[in-house]
Amino acid sequence: MESETGAFLEGPRLEIAGAAEGPLAGLRFAAKDLFDVAGHPTGAGNPDWARGRPLPARHAWAVQALLDAGARLVGKTVTCELSLGILGFNAHCGTPPNPAAPGCLPGGSSSGSASAVAAGLADIALGTDSGGSVRVPASLCGLYGLRPTHGRISFEGVCVQAPSFDTAGWFARDAGAFARAGAVLLGEPAAAPGQGPLLLAEDAFALADEAVQAALRPQAARVAALLGGAPRPMALGEPGELAAWGSQRAVLQRAEGWQTFRDWIDRVNPRLAFSVARNLGIGAALTEAQIALAAALRHRVRERARALLDGGAILCIPSTPFTAPPLGLPLHALDALSDRIGLLTSFAGLTGVPQLSLPLGQVAGKPVGLSLLAWRGQDARLLGIARALAG
Amino acid sequence: MESETGAFLEGPRLEIAGAAEGPLAGLRFAAKDLFDVAGHPTGAGNPDWARGRPLPARHAWAVQALLDAGARLVGKTVTCELSLGILGFNAHCGTPPNPAAPGCLPGGSSSGSASAVAAGLADIALGTDSGGSVRVPASLCGLYGLRPTHGRISFEGVCVQAPSFDTAGWFARDAGAFARAGAVLLGEPAAAPGQGPLLLAEDAFALADEAVQAALRPQAARVAALLGGAPRPMALGEPGELAAWGSQRAVLQRAEGWQTFRDWIDRVNPRLAFSVARNLGIGAALTEAQIALAAALRHRVRERARALLDGGAILCIPSTPFTAPPLGLPLHALDALSDRIGLLTSFAGLTGVPQLSLPLGQVAGKPVGLSLLAWRGQDARLLGIARALAG
């Protein structure tokens, strides 16, 4: 069902030189087509989004920050439609290639950003992550990717999807460029890894393919050693609770998404992939009671995150339950894969804690990411761990 | 929200000469892009419908019948997406003009067919009518249009939407060409109007704008006089029952539509206007109990139709509650208009009786149709009434 395209938007490549000097001088970066670039339409992966909107008068905050630090913008990248989607296909633009797993989906919604970096067409790339849109393509394309603490990096000049979930993050192939970009975007250099237990969430690992678990467990041990111990097996939730988090996260995110897009939909009746329109329609049909129940549950998950992580522990889970799925699957199969991914991405989404995906796993030649989660605000520490692991 | 287009599909006009002799020699006809024309893709108003399907090997039955009778095919016409829609806009192709009401919607889903005939670009045009798709554009564009008895005209080679509702019908500007085409498509010449009461459904008239009622009542009196009497005021349903018919018809039509399109959607995840995807999603979410309730209700409406019409009476209602709405309305306003139209179109849809829309009303320079309904099989009699009224 997916037609293929490149990582970048079609048409002449948008290039903007960065400042002459700066910590990112010499690095090329790409930006997901959710980020404003002054004077150019922001398409958001939908053919009707930009129509009738004024051109952005200024760059998104994160684009400006990277330019000011000396990085060169080398293009805007394909995104899943309206950032709604986790596997990386787009019914309008096509699906960017996964250079690390040819013939497979790249993951999304920051699909083109991950694809461009994995192909070496850019050194770093900006993405957004509301429901997993940095973590998932980082895992499937074999990249470093951070979903920062919610609210940590300015979302100014970026298309909103679900405000209580939206974050701006980035990708890189190597830990050095990843940390350098992070220092600029976080306003803080990579910090020391520090000590502290590595909590290995057995219930989260159990949701992944066995081969993925087997590939990631030795890497978890490496991380634990760096932190001064051995992985500490534990359960993230009560039995079945991760599944509940997945569905409650979906309720809240879809409810907010409907609020974001409803006026535009009413005005424009836009062209959308069936899957995207259906999910928006589900958001429209949610009752206040369903939303209130999910919001109450989010409060409990946040308390759980504080109890686990506030003392300095690092939590370890697979970034995705599987490696990149092949192209050409029917929608019901894609839906099942998306739901399964959501079981692992929802903890950070609901709690706002930062989640780093490390390109440490490999199964049958395809990458899969190991994720580390820390308490809110410890983004720079996660970057320090990434850099230390890379040696 | 509607971009505009012509009545015909974009690109080189598809033209096929008819038989050298025949009852329709000299007439030009157009066919809605739901009808197969051998060797040309049938697009059904959606950019992903034809992809991956073999080209039609033969003409649809109705296309072949008109060609065999000597009419010349002069083009295929724009349709609402997948024939789902009653107002005539299409988010992909654009909206055909309404030559009878410039700046207004043409009605649909046989939008381009009505537009082409109203503009004089064709003498007759084939359409389909599942929920009103011939009757509504006939009314809004000021044309003759027939939704025939369900099953009367072969649907072979036409894209199915909801089999228990789908019919193939046609439009014309003048009663003569309308009846000549009907003789070919019905296999029977226009019959004598006959005698019999004209039942004037006051509950259906009350659903129309007052100006529409005022414009149509004198025309109803003309019809009654032709049938040998005066209009006989009556109520088509119990109080509130027409609203119930509208929603039950929508339940059944959407449930069947989902069955029709679900496998294609699963395979292709097609691009659809939000409004179309949403309505398909509503069909997908219907429960067996809802569908069973609506089916039981349809049985009662059919008994009512038999009791009213089987003895030779003709039923008279407004074709639409209003004249052509302006372009540019937001989706919630379009939804409200569609729902209101559905209150008048559902009786024929649920019962399968033929419904003729006559271009007899005019409000502030815009046309509105008067509809006559007869018992199943009396299609040729309705054509005879149309011809007799035209003098």
The tens digit of pLDDT for each residue in B93-108 reads 999 999 999 999 999 9
Q: What was the pLDDT predicted at A343?
A: 97
Q: What was the pLDDT predicted at B1?
A: 56
What pLDDT band is residue B218 in, cutting at 50, 70 and 90? very high
- pLDDT above 70 as % of chain B: 99
Residue B233 main-chain phi, psi, to 5 deg: -65, 140
Residue A76 annotated among the catalytic residues of the structure: no
A275 touches B at CB < 8 Å = yes
Catalytic entry in B76, B83, B109, B346:
B109
Mean pLDDT over residues B248-274, rounded?
A: 97
User: What is the C-alpha separation between A133 and A131, in angstroms, rounded?
Assistant: 6
Mean pLDDT over residues B189-214, rounded?
A: 97
Please report residues of B whose CB lies closer than 8 A to that of A48. Answer: 91
ipTM: 0.89
Mean pLDDT over residues B12-38, rounded?
A: 97
Question: B44 pLDDT exceeds 70?
Answer: yes
Q: What was the pLDDT predicted at B3?
A: 77
User: What is the C-alpha separation between B385 and B389, in angstroms, rounded?
Assistant: 6
Question: B181 pLDDT exceeds 70?
Answer: yes
Q: Among partner residues A48, A273, A281, which is closest to B278 by beta-carbon distance?
A: A281
Q: What was the pLDDT predicted at A49?
A: 98
Could you please state the CATH topology (level 3) that the domain comprising B1-391 is classified under. Answer: Amidase signature (AS) enzymes (3.90.1300)
Helix residue ranges, H only, B70-151: 111-118, 135-141
User: What is the C-alpha separation between A185 and A66, in angstroms, rounded?
Assistant: 8
Shortest CA distance from A284: residue in chain B: B278
Mutation target to probe the A interface, by most A beta carbons within 10 A, among B271, B327, B337 is: B271
How crowded is residue B363: how many other Cβ atoms within 10 Å of its Cβ?
Answer: 18
Mean pLDDT over residues B166-176, rounded?
A: 98
DSSP bridge pairs for A148: none
pLDDT mean by block of 10 residues, chain A; 391 residues:
85 94 98 98 98 96 98 98 97 96 98 98 98 98 98 98 98 97 97 96 98 98 96 95 95 98 97 97 95 95 97 97 97 97 98 98 98 98 97 83
Q: Where are the domains of chain A?
A: 28-186, 198-389
A278 touches B at CB < 8 Å = yes
DSSP bridge pairs for A73: A16, A29
User: What is the C-alpha separation between B162 and B24, in angstroms, rounded?
Assistant: 31
Residue B111 annotated among the catalytic residues of the structure: no
Question: B349 pLDDT exceeds 60?
Answer: yes
With respect to CATH, is domain A198-389 assigned 3.40.720.10? no
Q: In this structure, are residues A125 and A116 in contact, taking their beta carbons and an 8 Å threshold?
A: yes
Do the domains at A28-186 and A198-389 have one common CATH topology? yes
Could you please state the CATH topology (level 3) that the domain comprising A28-186 is classified under. Answer: Amidase signature (AS) enzymes (3.90.1300)
Contacts of A303 (CB under 8 A, 6+ apart): none
DSSP characters for A68-114? HTT-EEEEEE--SGGG--SS---TTT-B---TTSTTB---SSSHHHH
Q: What was the pLDDT predicted at A1?
A: 57
Mean pLDDT over residues B242-247, rounded?
A: 94
| B275/A269 touch (CB, cutoff 8 Å), yes or no | yes
Please report residues of A whose CB lies closer than 8 A to that of B48. Answer: 91
Dihedral, CA of residue A36, residue A40, residue A41 and residue A44, to nearest 10 = -40
DSSP characters for B174-231? SHHHHHHHHHHHHTSPPPP-----EEEEHHHHTTS-HHHHHHHHHHHHHHHHHTTS--
Mean pLDDT over residues B180-205, rounded?
A: 97
| B92/A1 touch (CB, cutoff 8 Å), yes or no | no
| B271/A91 touch (CB, cutoff 8 Å), yes or no | yes
